[in-house]
Structure 1
Amino acid sequence: MTLSVRDLPAPVASHRGRLPGDPGRPLTTPGGASRAARRGMALLLLGWFALPFVPLLVWAFADRWAFPSVLPQEWGVGGLSSAFAQGGAAAFGRSLLLGLVVAAIATPLGAILGRALALGWAPAPRLVTAVVFAPVLLPPFAAALGINVLLLRAHVPALAGLVLVLVAMALPYTTFSMRAAYAAHDLGYEEEARTLGASRARVLWQVHVPLLAPALARSAFLAFLVGWSDYIITVMVGGGQIVTLPLITASAASGVGNDALVAALSLAAVIPPVLLLLVLVRGDRRMTP
């Protein structure tokens, strides 16, 4: 028999936020006008953030675009061909793998630390918080320079050192996200499952993880962004041995005369985070009652 969160009785029955005599209608139910306003605002924000990418999309398929023409005089895939020739596909794969590895490590570590801080299980919580959030407070260049010296003297391989530092940089975001999630988490569901005879492993995978799945997904997304978009740490700790997409994009942008190449690489850098964000938003909507 498979244990599910829906099979467990609610630990505490609450009637807050419901109208008298109408238990099925919460006080916070948005009206039609407010729903339309929110959708309109969402469309405006979407247009605001999407508008800057329109020139990039046009430049990526423009073989010749000279002033004062509003549109390119010649269309083509020269920018995409140059991106592949410059090793863009391989760099894309390295960045993707690096982001996934950082997310896979930083997310469970952030969940452990967030749970300990939220539930008061961490010894010296202020000190732990200061240590965890130190990478956000320190300048990235100074922190990477100091850590790189330690890694070189310890003979740590470039890839392992890069992953280690990026995980440390992502840990504040995953810890903060999971700490907020655990502050609102009801341990009663886990206690109910244990009372019904479920083992700790079963409670973890069939009760705990499903309840915190949205928060875990958000934390993993933030950690992925750290590994995917990093430039400074990759340059210094990687020592030029690990060529990622941000490195190739910055190198192409520092040159002159190949705007189509820069546009193609920039679009490639934007696509994975946008797709993951859409998946995240859709997953949150499905899990929201």
Structure 2
Amino acid sequence: MMIPYGQRITPDDRTTTSRGLMRPRPGGRALRVAVATVLALWFALPLVPLLLWAVANRWSFPAPLPTAWGVDGLVTALEQGAAPAFGRSLLLGLAVAAIATPLGALAARALTRGIVPAPRLVSALLLAPLALPAFVAVMGLTVLLLRARVPATLAVLLLLVAAALPYTVYTMRVAYAAHDLAYEEEARTLGASRLAVLVRVHLPLVAPGLARAAFLAFLVGWSDYVVTVLVGGGSLVTLPLLVGSYAAGVGNEAIVAVLSLGAIVPPLVLLLALGRFGRRYPTARFTGPTPSRSPKGSP
């Protein structure tokens, strides 16, 4: 019996046949669907007020629904530069992911293979941004960047890459801990070049880990507020800065709702794409009982 490619088998939804093979329980899939539906509703409930505020021109207490419907919040948000801010945040998140992901992968590979001197010290330095308060770390590094005359946009990018490295390094260390070098060694034995092994063997095997690391790095750049406002000094206006500025005022609920919904879209799209991408890699295959090994000395 063979489980379809890509199907996940868990202990709660499989039974054992008379031949010792594993097969899914009939109610296991229904249970997973029910749990997923409940979780989706749980996370979607906080978005309901945002959706209502986004299409409300007026919502007076104690009315349960908006008293005047419209898109004034969307129009005002666009007039105040929501579209350019959205584009800057998107580019910033993509740039952080493009730099932090390969750096984290290289560091994680070196640490996993034990080719780094003082690996514990190096790991502590890479994870240090998580231990320090964001405000303290930013203020200390800002002084150095200002004295080095680094442009504000580049300084923001460098600091966000440093903030994203702990996430990419940790994610890739988990991926490399389960990575089997035998595949690469076998490819080299068969005559493949280093580039061919990297492109056709190594990268496909660690692709799910790279995707997860890139997603986390993107979130760091996309949702940042502290680094952008302190280091950027207002020269780099991103979507989180607009949300914070309007949320600090009174009567801007519709604008804040529109901006907040816009901030949810890219991470949600990437999360769905990441889940879809992960299904391409099977987590278990059951093709039958494991053949017994021959005793020593037998042919």
- Give the Cα–Cα distance (whole angstroms) in 2 for the partners of residues 135 and 183 of structure 1: 23
Q: Tell me what 2:154 maps to.
A: 160
| Aligned pairs (5 A) from 1:236-255 | 236-255=230-249
| Aligned pairs (5 A) from 1:95-244 | 95-244=89-238
Give 1:154 deviation, angstroms: 0.8
The Cα RMSD (Å) is 1.7
- Give the Cα–Cα distance (whole angstroms) in 1 for the partners of residues 201 and 258 of structure 2: 44
Question: Which stretch shifts more, 266-275 or 112-121?
Answer: 112-121
Find the structure with the greater CA-based Rg. 2
Write the letter of the residue equivalent to 1:171: L
- Give the Cα–Cα distance (whole angstroms) in 1 for the partners of residues 199 and 213 of structure 2: 18
State the secondary structure of the residue aligned to 1:286.
coil
| Aligned pairs (5 A) from 1:16-35 | 25-26=21-22, 30-35=24-29
More helix by share: 1
State the secondary structure of the residue aligned to 1:287.
coil
Q: Decide which of 245, 258, 264 is 1:264's aligned counterpart.
A: 258
1:43 aligns with 2:37: yes
Structure 1 gaps of 5+ residues are 1-17
Q: Tell me what 2:286 maps to.
A: none
TM-score where L is the length of structure 2: 0.86
Write the letter of the residue equivalent to 2:167: Y
- Post-superposition Cα deviations, 1:103-148, rounded to whole Å, max 9, x if no partner, equal 0000001101111111212211100001000000000001101111
- Give the Cα–Cα distance (whole angstroms) in 2 for the partners of residues 118 and 19 of structure 1: 37
Write the letter of the residue equivalent to 1:274: L
State the secondary structure of the residue aligned to 1:59.
helix
Structure 2 gaps of 5+ residues are 1-14, 284-299
TM-score where L is the length of structure 1: 0.89
CA contact (8 A) 1:110 1:178 kept: yes
Write the letter of the residue equivalent to 1:99: G
Write the letter of the residue equivalent to 1:32: P
Give the length in aligned residue pairs: 269
Q: Tell me what 1:274 maps to.
A: 268
Give 1:187 deviation, angstroms: 0.8
Give 1:170 deviation, angstroms: 0.2
